[in-house]
Amino acid sequence: MFPTSAPQPGTVARLNLGAGFGYVRDDAGRGSFVFVAELVSHRVLGALRAGQAVRFEMDERGRVVRLVPAQGRP
């Protein structure tokens, strides 16, 4: 079971924007989680880079349901 609705820090691990998805690695060390491009605004998606700090939320099944660039982190 995964926590829900609490934003957590992470890093963009890999992007495959041509296929419409990417992976985010959480800072707590639990692993990498897939996100689909449809969940991210076009403006944010175009600015994402591998290694970038983000904040994300997951549902109870461990799926990323929200992802935004982190403020004040490299």
Q: What is the per-residue pLDDT across 36-68, written as a single tens digit (0 to 9) for each? A: 888 887 788 888 999 999 999 998 888 898 899
- The pLDDT score that the predictor gives to residue 74 is 46
The token duo for 17 is 């924007």
The dihedral formed by the CA atoms of 18, 43, 39 and 73, expressed in degrees to the nearest 10: 100
Q: Return the pLDDT at 73.
A: 52
Query: Does 12 score more than 90 pLDDT?
Result: yes
Q: Which CATH class is domain 8-68?
A: mainly beta
User: In 10 A of CB 13, how many CB atoms?
Assistant: 17
Mean pLDDT score of the chain: 85
Is the CB of residue 10 less than 8 Å from the CB of residue 24?
Answer: yes
Average of pLDDT values for 24-31? 91
Domain ranges of the chain: 8-68
For residue 40, what are its two tokens? Answer: 């991210």
